[in-house]
Chain A
């Protein structure tokens, strides 16, 4: 089985891109399953089901979705193996731009949209910088110039990635992406011992554990202060 991690800011079009790409893969007889990681709520599992793709969803609740992802991805892989998928897609929303959900040697795709603004690529961390493929969506509603400028910014942030333009509504470009995703010779049977491409955002303070009161005396653990003196 192949495993692919797909990530990107909320509402960038991840699910639409995956579903359109899956249509092309299914036509080649490739069996696909998906798992959707989100924070508080998602209805994307319904979209997957409608498209005939077996799906599991995981909501991280008050935990960092990245940490939740990495603590569950092994079990999710086992589910995929049991279901005998050819390709398992793990989709996770990048909520804070510091996300780092990619695993070494596991293909990583970042989905980002033209409407997010040309300064956005710079603001996104490992999720964009360490991806193998960057998919840019919503190109049908902005001008050619803005598309070119945005793609140039993405390129400056991640020169090694393949950059693709996909229309999540019509599926234009999805067939092409599908040819890059599935590798017949790749077998991922276990993730044990594999490493993340970059460390995840870290925090362990009283607020992580449910503290709601404001004030220095309630702050414990990994707490950092802004420097308001420096000019």
Chain B
């Protein structure tokens, strides 16, 4: 990491050459430091001080501290992909009555799906919060979370660009006024990915495969249908989110191919956790956790019999979908479809 003295003796232009990610940092300063980008920072800061920094809400010493910290964190951040999360492990704690949870160790491996069932208020959110906070027997449940079978670094808690869990829920909306392509470019640039254009194409293709109706790269994200929005969110989270765990809170059974959605996520080596009460989704998972009274009550591996049942359920679901499509296009039902 460069020392403060070294930073002060460098010019903004040379710093950006050495650390391209600093463009965003400089752009987000309240004052334009790139006006004389070839002058040494020392001189630029001195000049600002002489002009009177009070009006510009800028303080040179604080700026250099933040600059140094930003470089340190971003360099670590760009090294993350090399240390992949292969698995998460939950070590048992206790439920709301203080009873010990009845399992030895619960593993979530990459490219697998775990469904989570249990009534509202049973403790699903607490389990997810424990994972997000990489609990170390220091939350109300006393659970411990391991990453790759060992005690995780505290970065997972505190580093801004390094969060364990990405979320997808039915209440989520796009709120930015951008086209699909601009939106994905923005996300890619915040992640500093190298091959952005290629990933963006892949995301749009994948999302179009999930949603029934196709959209284009220049479609505004706010004019996407419910199914298209969900499809784009899933493909984007699978391919551009830095978080190794994806938490899904139900996927609606309309306008989107749910099976393919899960395949895309597991194909990108995500650890998928899915809160659902839909039997089809629950059985698509490799295992399911039953939550009761704030604790993990049971862990059920999806059996061969259940998988066979899933095939039947999917058949009848297809019939429902077909009827829905007919209804939409104004056709009359004939009994032969049932």
A binds B: yes
Q: With both chains docked as a complex, state the minimum distance between the C-beta of A53 and any C-beta of chain B, in angstroms.
A: 20
- Is B54's CB under 8 angstroms from A199's CB? yes
Partner of A144, one of B158, B161, B168, B176: B168
Q: Write out the residue numbers on chain A whose beta carbons fall within 8 Å of the beta carbon of B65.
A: 160
A-facing mask of B59-73, CB < 8 A → 1, else 0?
100100110011001
Segment of B133-141, B252-260, B303-311 in the binding face: B133-141
Determine whether the beta carbon of A156 is less than 8 Å from that of B186: no
> Which chain B residues border A179 with CB–CB below 8 Å?
138
CB-CB under 8 A from B62, the residues of chain A are: 129-130
Binding stretch for chain A, among B104-112, B236-244, B273-281: B236-244
Q: Whole-angstrom distance from the CB of B60 to the nearest CB of chain A?
A: 12
Q: Which residues of B contact A151 (CB under 8 A)?
A: 160-161, 163
A126 and B66 alpha carbons, distance in the complex (Å): 13
A115 close to chain B: CB less than 8 A: yes
Q: Does chain A have a CB within 8 A of B169?
A: yes
Q: Interface residues of A toward B: which range?
A: 35 or more
* A57 close to chain B: CB less than 8 A: no
B63 to chain A, nearest CB (A): 9
CA distance A159 to B184 in the complex (A): 24
Q: Are A140 and B129 in contact (CB under 8 A)?
A: no
Chain B residue at minimal CB-CB distance from A199: B54
Which A175-202 residues have C-beta < 8 A from chain B?
175-176, 179, 198-199, 202
Q: Which of A144, A145, A172 contacts B183 (CB 8 A)?
A: A145
- A211 vs B252: C-alpha distance in the bound complex, in angstroms? 59
Interface flags, B31-46, vs A, CB<8A=1, else 0: 0000000000000000
B125 interface residue (CB < 8 Å to A): yes
Residue in contact with A140 in the complex, picked from B172, B187, B229, CB distance below 8 Å: B172
Nearest to B77 among chain A residues (CB) is: A155
Q: How many residues of B contact A (CB 8 A)?
A: 50
User: Is the beta-carbon distance between B191 and A148 smaller than 8 angstroms?
Assistant: yes
Q: How far is A182 from B72 in the complex, measured between Cα atoms in Å?
A: 28
Least distance between A137 CB and chain B CB atoms (Å): 14
Among the listed B28, B140, B175, which residue makes an inter-chain contact with A121, where contact means beta carbons less than 8 Å apart?
A: B28
B236 and A143 form a contact (CB under 8 A): yes
* Residues of chain B in range 234-272 having any CB-CB distance to chain A below 8 Å: 236-237, 240-242
User: Provided the pairs A125-B30, A172-B125 are in contact, do residues A148 and B173 lie with their beta carbons within 8 angstroms?
Assistant: no
- B236 touches which of A140, A144, A155, A172 (Cβ 8 Å): A144
Asked if A163 and B160 sit within 8 Å, CB to CB, the answer is yes
A142 at the B interface (CB under 8 A): yes
User: Are B160 and A146 in contact, CB atoms less than 8 angstroms apart?
Assistant: no
- Flag if B233 contacts A152 (CB, 8 Å): no
Q: A161 → chain B, closest Cβ, in Å?
A: 8
Q: Does B24 contact A (CB under 8 A)?
A: yes
B195 at the interface (CB under 8 A from A): no
Spell out B's residues near A (CB within 8 Å). Answer: 24-25, 27-28, 30, 54, 57, 59, 62, 65-66, 69-70, 73, 125, 128-129, 132-133, 138-140, 157-158, 160-161, 163, 166-169, 171-176, 183-184, 186-187, 190-191, 229, 233, 236-237, 240-242
Q: Can you add 14 more A-B contacts, CB < 8 Å, to A121-B28, A148-B191, A151-B161? A: A126-B57, A129-B57, A142-B172, A143-B174, A143-B229, A144-B166, A144-B237, A146-B176, A148-B242, A149-B186, A156-B28, A160-B66, A176-B133, A199-B54
28 A–B contacts from the bound complex (CB under 8 Å): A140-B169, A141-B172, A143-B174, A143-B229, A143-B233, A143-B236, A144-B168, A144-B233, A144-B241, A145-B183, A145-B236, A145-B240, A148-B190, A148-B191, A148-B241, A149-B186, A151-B160, A151-B163, A152-B190, A152-B191, A153-B24, A153-B28, A156-B24, A159-B25, A173-B129, A175-B129, A198-B59, A199-B54
